[in-house]
Amino acid sequence: MRDDANGPLSRRQILASISGIGVLGAIGGAGTHAVLNDAERRTEGRIRAGELALAIDCPGPGCVTVGNSVAFSVENLEPGTSGTETLEITVEGNAARLWMRTDCPPEADLLGAVLEVTLRYDPSCGSSGDTLFDGTLNDLRLAFADGLRLDDDCIDGDETVCLTLEWSLPADGSDGLAGLSSDLHLEFFAQQCRHVSEADVENPFADAADCPDPEPACPDCEELGKADIDPDSVSPGDRFPIEAEGDYELEALTVTNKPDGDTVCANFRLLLDGSEDAAPRICKVVVRGGPPDNGPPGRNPPGDNGPASNPNEIEIHPPSTRTGEVCTETTEAGSSGNEIWPAISNVTVYICP
């Protein structure tokens, strides 16, 4: 796919083009309306409808305008990072009312469930503006999927208003999200004020279908296979083959070690043929801990020098290609009540087929 004026389209452009909310259908009520059209450039959209036009400037590297939607992309984040993107929206011609709606959350978006966002509307583009939303990215998508009017009164012709998205990935609780990306898609709709009285104004997105349940369906949770883990040498990036049909691996993203070096907790992701994108979603893992047969004294519960034991069954909810942090189960040892936290010996993976 190409934009003849600008060369090959980027991944974000193609994504915005094919994953937009959809072309706006017929809207009841008289008036002239404007939305973004399919022929506009990647950082500015403009369409004329009689005496009305919208010019939308989205200059940031994580923002593109394609078709009738604007997409903000965030990717390759590290815990504690943040950023800002600002849209400048200019009404060209007659005064107009302006609406916006968001896309629905995808079936599984780990980053969107954690990424903290604030959406602000500034009618003068000169201050911090009014806060429209403050919460997670997925919750923002749900909040305005059925539309939101941005202006309190009509926006004068040739007047510019601003919409700013601020985002941050919390420093705590975000381990294992490295490499993930997410996108927010917005659709805009404008209506000339002179054709419709304020009393007759209707939300053009009011009939939008409700967002589906954001938790993906997983009618069956089937065993894929077991990955043997070498507890003495686990590091982020290590991969462990899974005993299954196909080239499946578990890759360690983060690890937690005991003082003796053994790994007792890890955050894994599932790979198929070396790619997370191709992998199915994990619905459950069973983590077993314990040393190999006849392990060193003191490494097993009293009287047990056998193979890996202490199965810890962990549901992955919602199902995802990543497990979050999973650990072995502790075992009470001896009359002192001390607990043994065995090193990870193997992980059995269950998937949504």
> Is 118 in contact with 68 (CB distance < 8 Å)?
no
β-pairing, 116-122 vs 69-75, is unpaired
Closest CA to 322 of 288, 265, 281: 281
Is the whole model's pTM more than 0.75, yes or no? no
């509307």: which residue's tokens? 121
DSSP 290-321: -PSTTPPTTSSSTT--SS-EEEEEEEEEEEES
Listed by start position, the domains of the chain span 2-200, 222-351
Q: How far apart are the first and last CA of the chain?
A: 32
Question: Which amino acid belongs to residue 306?
Answer: G
Closest CA to 284 of 195, 201, 222, 209: 222
Neighbours of 44 (CB within 10 A): 15
d(CA 256, CA 350): 23
- The torsion angles phi and psi of 12, rounded to 5 degrees, stand at -65, -40
d(CA 33, CA 26): 10
Question: Which amino acid belongs to residue 67?
Answer: G
> Is 84 in contact with 72 (CB distance < 8 Å)?
no
Question: Which amino acid belongs to residue 225?
Answer: G
CB contact set of 177 (below 8 Å; sequence gap of 6+): 77, 79, 110, 111, 114, 169, 322
d(CA 287, CA 229): 10
* Alpha carbons within 13 A on the beta-carbon side of 320: 24
Closest CA to 252 of 319, 323, 315: 323
Per-residue pLDDT of the chain (353 residues; tens, 9 = 90+): 334 334 333 444 434 433 333 333 222 223 333 333 323 333 344 334 445 677 888 877 778 876 557 888 888 788 888 888 888 988 888 899 999 999 988 777 878 888 999 999 999 898 778 999 999 999 999 999 999 999 988 999 889 999 999 999 888 766 677 777 888 899 998 888 988 888 899 998 888 878 876 666 788 899 999 999 987 778 999 999 999 999 999 999 989 888 777 888 999 999 999 998 889 999 999 999 875 443 444 444 444 444 456 789 999 888 889 998 899 887 655 444 556 678 899 999 999 98
CA distances from 313 to 105, 291, 330, 335, 348 (A): 28, 19, 13, 27, 9
d(CA 79, CA 92): 41
d(CA 296, CA 313): 26
The alpha-carbon radius of gyration of the chain (Å, integer) is: 26
- The torsion angles phi and psi of 114, rounded to 5 degrees, stand at -115, -30
